[in-house]
Amino acid sequence: MSALEQNLADYLQLRRSLGHEMAEARWLLPGFVAYLDAHEASTVTIEAALDWAQQSPTGQPTTVGPRRMMAARGFARYLAGIYPGTEIPPLGLMPVRQRWRRPFIYSTADIEALMGQARILIRSPLRAATYETLIGLLAASGLRIGEAITLDRSDIDWSEGLLVIRESKFGKSRLVPLHSTAMQALNAYALLRDELEPRPEEPSFFVSQTHRRLCYAVVCQTFRQLVDAAGVGAGAPSAPRLHDLRHTFAVRTLLSWYRTGEDVQAKLPWLSTYLGHREPATTYWYLSAAPELLALAAARQNTRWTAVRS
């Protein structure tokens, strides 16, 4: 193992210990270290980072360049504390081009169709109930799919109607209150699960056919089958995704507040905390997710400006 390879291992371990997932860095940076070692470089230079980021196996322009540069910059900041000659690539050297994808906003009928399709398409009673309940929970709570999968039985406070989300994205934990109807659905599933799976191998709330925690890849594949079978989103510009249930929850919440005359600006930090965002600015993104929501926001702003001018 070269010195830079050891530095990379130490860097990734440090960042993970601070709560960062580092999935993309783990994928990209070994190639950067190999490039530096091949060029007998003892540390990062701006020239080396730029040359590596612009490389493409096919000889064609690569869209991964800005992501490579971002990963190299983070690694360089770490190395600067070890090797005085390290150069940290400046921001903006390779600007990231954000490609915005409009989320699919599910209607109530869409969600009911998906839950109903789970009962029809999946033969195993427990597996059918698992997916029906999982979809209902995601729609009713706006949880990330990873948060729902990692729920343990002890993470549900039945008396208070709360979910305990432990060390989710950004290493944050939070409490998520649920409506009584959602709690009733979870309780019905728990009773069936305990009847059909009395001795699970893991403490997870949702269980798979292997008696263990649900697997993300399998959940995504099954959800796609349910979407196709139910015909949800057929012909839509953006195909429905599992994560769009979270977008739908946020958009519906904001729409409800606008329609009932709530002070959305004042309540937005609450929604941000509920969803587990780092800051309310992230939650503002949902304003662009639905034309109706944009129209209501614009109308509210116009009303305020009219009141100020008069």
- The closest alpha carbon to 63, from 96, 26, 34, 36, belongs to 96
Average pLDDT, the chain: 85
Distance of CA 197 to the CA centre of its chain: 29
Contacting residues for 257 by C-beta, under 8 A, at least 6 apart: 264, 267
Contacting residues for 269 by C-beta, under 8 A, at least 6 apart: 280
Total length of the chain: 310
pLDDT in tens, 151-191: 999 999 999 999 999 866 656 788 999 999 999 999 999 99
Instruction: Answer yes or no: are the C-beta atoms of 234 and 110 closer than 8 Å.
Output: no
Residue 198 has pLDDT above 60, yes or no: yes
More confident residue, 153 or 21: 153
H/E element, 163 = strand 162-165
Tokens representing 260 are 């009932």
What is the number of alpha carbons within 13 Å of residue 135 lying toward its C-beta?
A: 26
Q: Is 118 exposed, middle or buried (0-12, 13-18, 19+ CB in 10 A)?
A: buried
Query: Which residues are catalytic, by number?
Result: 144, 169, 243, 246, 277, 286
Residues of the chain with pLDDT > 70, as a percent, come to 83
Residues of the chain with pLDDT > 90, as a percent, come to 54
Instruction: Answer yes or no: are the C-beta atoms of 200 and 207 closer than 8 Å.
Output: yes
Q: Which residues pair with 225 in a beta bridge?
A: none
- The closest alpha carbon to 87, from 135, 42, 24, 134, belongs to 42
Q: Which residues pair with 204 in a beta bridge?
A: 152
Distance CA 230, CA 246 (A): 19
Report DSSP letters for 21-33, one per residue: --HHHHHHHHHHH
Give the lowest-confidence range in 97-106, 131-140, 251-260: 97-106
Contacting residues for 267 by C-beta, under 8 A, at least 6 apart: 257
More confident residue, 121 or 57: 121
Instruction: Answer yes or no: are the C-beta atoms of 105 and 290 closer than 8 Å.
Output: yes
Average pLDDT over residues 56-62: 51
Instruction: Answer yes or no: are the C-beta atoms of 105 and 247 closer than 8 Å.
Output: yes
Residue 296 has pLDDT above 60, yes or no: no
Average pLDDT over residues 260-272: 82
Average pLDDT over residues 263-270: 81
Rg of the chain over Cα atoms, rounded to whole angstroms, equals 24
